[in-house]
Amino acid sequence: MKLKTGEKLVMIGDSITDCGRSRPIGEGSGALGNGYVSLVDSLLGAVYPELKLKIVNVGTSGNTVRDLKARWTTDVIDLKPDWVSVMIGINDVWRQFDSPLQKERHVELEEYKETITNLVEQTQPNVTGMILMTPFYIEPNASDPMRAMMDRYSEVVRELALQRNTLFVDTQAAFNYLMEYSYPAAIAWDRVHPNQIGHLAIARAFVDAIGFAW
């Protein structure tokens, strides 16, 4: 297990992380929302109660990496975490497809890469470790335009995790496994916002990455 006794893990991202968490900070019983963050907290609390780990959810629905940059100081650095997990990129890609004419809302690949790289670089000296999670699209056809673009953004995260020696969670791979047996709409009605099966798949991939012993 990578996390040690009494450490604080701040988890930041978009609506997949948010999932109705409390404001201004999602921390404590009933405050973590109803998604993978709460499931991670439950698994760690049930299997490693002696570690007394503190999980904080600062996901915000609709966010892109541009939004994370704007609130990074208050929502990450000022919380003085030991660990930080980041899952961002779904809206960066999605807005290019559902709002194609609103160019000001688009976060192109180069901006995405530069921004997430800068956030990791500025944060690493102040924390024990970081966990980078890929964005995902629950679509089995890898040639689908949105899935293909999402995979390119995911590759940025994979390469960054390798370059900066962070932990890495391939959430797309977790959904690819589910899609071998389930139609995408049975996991997420819009292929983005997963049901509890999908959130548990994310949580499982996450705890595996941090050395959870099942």
Instruction: List, for residues 7-54, the tens digit of each pLDDT value.
Output: 999 999 999 999 999 999 999 989 999 999 999 999 999 999 999 999
Contacts of 166 (CB under 8 A, 6+ apart): 120, 124, 129, 130, 131, 132, 160
Give rounded-to-5 percent helix, strand, coil for the chain: 50, 10, 40
**Domain, as residue range, for 19:** 8-209
CA dihedral 92, 96, 98, 100 (to 10 degrees): 150
CATH number for the domain that contains residue 94: 3.40.50.1110
Q: Is the pLDDT of residue 214 over 90?
A: no
- pTM here is 0.96
pLDDT at 100: 86
Residue 54 maps to a domain = yes
Residue-wise pLDDT tens digits, 135-178: 999 999 999 999 999 999 999 999 999 999 999 999 999 999 99
Task: Pick the catalytic residue from 15, 38, 85, 154.
Answer: 15
In a domain, 214, yes or no: no
Catalytic residue among 42, 99, 190, 208: 190
Beta strands in the chain (DSSP E): 8-13, 26-27, 54-57, 83-87, 129-133, 167-169
Query: Helix (H) and strand (E) counts for the chain?
Result: 8, 6
Neighbours of 9 (CB within 10 A): 24
Catalytic choice (67, 82, 170, 193) = 193
Q: Is residue 88 part of a domain?
A: yes
CB 21 within 8 A of CB 32: yes
pLDDT band at 80, cuts 50/70/90? very high
Q: Give the residue among 47, 59, 21, 36 at the shortest CA–CA distance from 201.
A: 36
Residue 84, classed as helix, strand or coil, is strand
What's the pLDDT score for residue 105? 86
Per the structure, the count of domains in the chain is 1
Express each pLDDT in 93-151 by its tens digit.
Answer: 999 998 888 988 889 999 999 999 999 999 999 999 999 999 999 999 999 999 999 99
Residue 1 lies inside a defined structural domain of this protein:
no
**Is 193 in the active site?**
yes
